[in-house]
Amino acid sequence: MSEASRSLNFIEHIIEDDLSAGFPKKQLRFRFPPEPNGYLHIGHASSICLNFGLGLRYDAPVNLRFDDTNPAKEESEYVEAIKRDVEWLGFQWAEERYASDYFQQLYDWAEQLIRDGKAYVDSQTSEEIAAQKGTPTEAGTESPFRNRSVSENLELFRGMKEGKFAQGEHVLRARIDMASPNMLLRDPVMYRILHRAHHRTNTDWCIYPLYDWTHGESDYIEQVSHSLCTLEFKPHRPLYDWFLDCVTEPDKLRPKQREFARRNLSHTVVSKRKLLELVTGGHVSGWDDPRMPTISGLRRRGCTPEAIRNFADTIGIAKRENVVDVALLDFHMREHLNKVAPRVMAVLDPIKLVITNYPEGQEEWLETENNPEDPEAGTREIPFSRELYIEQEDFREEANRKFFRLKLGGEVRLKSGYIIKAERAVKDDKGRVVEVHCTYDPKSRSGSGTEESMRKVKGTLHWVSASHAIPAEVRLYDRLFTDPTPDQHKDRDFMEFINPDSLEVVQAWLEPGLETAQPSDRFQFQRLGYFCVDPDSTPANLVFNRTVTLRDTWAKIEQKEA
RNA sequence: UGGCCUAUGGUGUAAUUGGCAACACUACUGAUUUUGGUUCAGUCAUUCUAGGUUCGAGUCCUAGUAGGCCAACCA
């Protein structure tokens, strides 16, 4: 149990403190509260891992609760997408709940607040109400309707509910303090009239509660012990508590809200508006484009749930501003994929290699390991023949000592095959190398046990047999933005930093066994990176997405020399 | 002329509550390697600043500085 030795984050400290102060462990309960108005992204993943992780740690239930109080924005399509994403991440919620389940209870409580003189119907326009709100440094002014009688308020509020008024004609407001330094306490709106069908309650209601009035009360109804949200809700906490004071009974658990800093990822954006702009502007193919930081995008790219959970775990949770380097996410993808992804050979940018002393028409099947990290993964056979493809960049006519690959007169090992020596570069009219002719040492076959097969040569190349290889479309993805914090520049729009080379599509040659690869299958293309079969893929037209490259020490050496 | 929050290597998070600043990533060295992958070993900090309390301060006190959040009938 390495888990036990892990240091606690500040939320866990709070819970431990509550526990040692006598809070019964059995009453611990958490919730993940998305609004079903968009797709989940990597930032949500952190919150999901936090809440569900706490559930696992304390053996406590975690509800999935949709905060669906705004019928203008929410759709059941998003509910389904969110559920799929949470499940894919590997978490199970105790109960699926909706804030809309509580509309009647919320309404009844609202009438109670009116009777207690804690809420009133305001009949001003939203502009008037906004104008009276004041500013952070100036107190607001009270509404002329603030002192309506209980019976008048009740009658009006019931009228609102019964649909007697047009949208915007009245709102229900909490009666708190128009001079509070906390602007959220300046008589916040609790209900607005919205003549709109709701994805669950349809037209049952034409008044809808707002977030502040709904959230804490929903936590209370569900008896959530610790309601965790992001830092921008910190100023809402006094209101959360004020509303709770209005309804809580002494024998029931009173939820507490605590806030943590949302996680920011470098080289991307996560705001819904900006993500939407990328989609509608055609910069990506959709919400699940593999370059998107959405859960669905990461999934399509080939990222594993384990990688995301480990990532969330290592970045932890705290209260300060942060930008987590996307390199850490890459690390976790590689770390997990290294253990589970079968190795295969694929050539993305081919050049033909002809072994002049290998008999024409001959072929043989070479045994190769599926995953050196996993002995259980076994072996498979791959075809070898006179004409092969290797990567263009693995051959140079001449190169210095640091180039461990194929150069004229130099030797190299073909992975799981033979040692070859480059003899001649065949060029076209323009002087471009179109073929490399080489000779092989027939006694050097990998695993044959001969002295020649044991010889150490510095370089090992991946390859495919030209006549056996199958074609595939391979989509090479890079980060979407060239700047680490594209949306944190004061005078520059984040779109200025979009990476024009974030997608390159190539036609590659794969070892024939990949013919049967199915969407979402993941592989390591040896020496290149991890790749995942795209949902667009068909047996007749294979499509792979590059999830992440392998670490590339050679690229760094080259870069330094340039 | 406001309120609230936050400051620890390049990045993210720790620090047994006042006792040798730790872990991971990145970067850089080197070893191993039939993937320039993996693995292994190593290197990288005046804890925002200035004072103060103390035998001892990342932690406590005072004063600054910097950054973030708050004026939807959004969540």
Q: What is the CATH number of the domain that holds A96?
A: 3.40.50.620
The answer on pLDDT for A3 being more than 70 is: no
Domain boundary among A390, A421, A455: A455
Q: Which of A236, A260, A284 is the last residue of a domain?
A: A260
Is the confidence at residue A6, as pLDDT, over 80? no
Please tell me the predicted confidence (pLDDT) of residue A5: 59
Active site residue A97: no
Q: What's the rounded Cα separation, in Å, for the pair A554 and A549?
A: 13
Q: Which nucleotide is nearest to A404 (CA to C1')?
A: B36
* Co-location of A369 and A488 in the same domain: no
Task: Give how many domains chain A has, as a whole number.
Answer: 3
DSSP string, A401-429: TT--SEEBT-EEEETTS-EEEEEEEEE-T
Cβ atoms within 10 Å, residue A337: 24
Mean pLDDT of all residues in A191-213: 98
Q: What are the strands of the beta sheet with A543-549, ordered from one edge?
A: A343-344, A522-525, A529-533, A543-549, A470-477, A503-510, A346-347
- Of A260, A280, A309, the one marking the end of a domain is A260
Residue A465 within a domain: no
Residue A551 half-sphere exposure, CB side, CA atoms within 13 Å? Answer: 9
CA of A132: nearest nucleotide by C1' is: B71
Taking the C-alpha atoms of residue A423 and residue A388, their distance in angstroms, rounded to an integer, is 15
**What is the rounded CA–CA span in Å between residue A312 and residue A47?**
9
- Is A115 within a domain? yes
Same domain for A510 and A373, yes or no, is no
Environment class of A139 (CB within 10 Å of its CB; exposed 0-12, middle 13-18, buried 19+): middle
Instruction: Name the residue range of residue A290's domain.
Output: 272-342+472-561
CA–C1' distance A137–B68 (Å)? 18
Which residue has the closest alpha carbon to B35 C1'?
A527
pTM: 0.96
- Is A262 catalytic? The answer is yes
Average pLDDT over every residue of A61-76: 96
Same domain, A176 and A238: yes
* Nucleotide B74 C1' to residue A89 CA (A): 27
Q: Report yes or no on A265 lying in a domain.
A: no
Same domain? For A251 and A337 the reply is no
d(CA A48, CA A150): 43
Q: Which residue has the tokens 């509309």?
A: A103
pLDDT > 70? residue A504: yes
Q: Tell whether A396 and A543 lie within a shared domain.
A: no
Together in a domain, A16 and A102: yes
| A281 inside domain | yes
Instruction: Give A144's pLDDT tier (boundaries 50, 70, 90).
Output: very high
Nucleotide nearest to A338 (CA to C1'): B38
ipTM value: 0.96
Out of A43-47, A322-326, A373-377, least confident range? A373-377
Same domain, A94 and A180: yes
The catalytic residue among A262, A352, A415, A479 is A262
| Catalytic option among A272, A380, A421, A479 | A272
Active site residue A148: no
| Same domain for A222 and A155 | yes
A267 located within any domain: no
For every residue of A24-58, which 3-state class applies, written as one string?
Answer: CHHHCCEEECCCCCCCCEHHHHHHHHHHHHHHHHH
How confident is the model over A475-493, as a mean pLDDT? 94
The yes-or-no verdict on residue A331 having pLDDT over 80 is yes
- Same structural domain, A397 and A252: no
Q: Tell me, rounded to whole angstroms, the distance of Cα A560 from its chain centroid.
A: 33
Q: Are residues A177 and A41 in the same domain?
A: yes
The reply to whether A242 falls in a domain is: yes
Q: How confident is the model at residue A501 (pLDDT cuts 50, 70, 90)?
A: very high
Confidence band of A463 (pLDDT split at 50, 70, 90)? very high
**CA dist., res. A18 & res. A27, Å (int):** 11
Specify if A113 maps to a domain. Answer: yes
Give ∠ CA A320-A267-A79 in degrees, rounded to 5: 80
Six token digits for residue A169 = 């004609």
Residue A275 has pLDDT above 90, yes or no: yes
Distance from residue A6's CA to nucleotide B61's C1', rounded to whole Å: 32
Looking at residue A374, which CATH number applies to its domain?
Answer: 2.40.240.10
Q: Does some domain include residue A266?
A: no
**Predicted pLDDT of residue A340:** 97
Look up the protein residue whose alpha carbon has the minimum distance to the C1' of B17.
Answer: A13
Question: Per-residue pLDDT averaged across A459-469, rounded?
Answer: 98
Q: Are residues A41 and A152 in the same domain?
A: yes
- Tell me, yes or no, whether A28 and A106 share the same domain: yes
Cβ–Cβ under 8 Å, residues A170 and A123: yes
A321 CA to B64 C1', in Å? Answer: 22
| Chain B positions with a protein C-beta closer than 7 Å | 1-8, 10-15, 17, 24-28, 34-39, 67-75
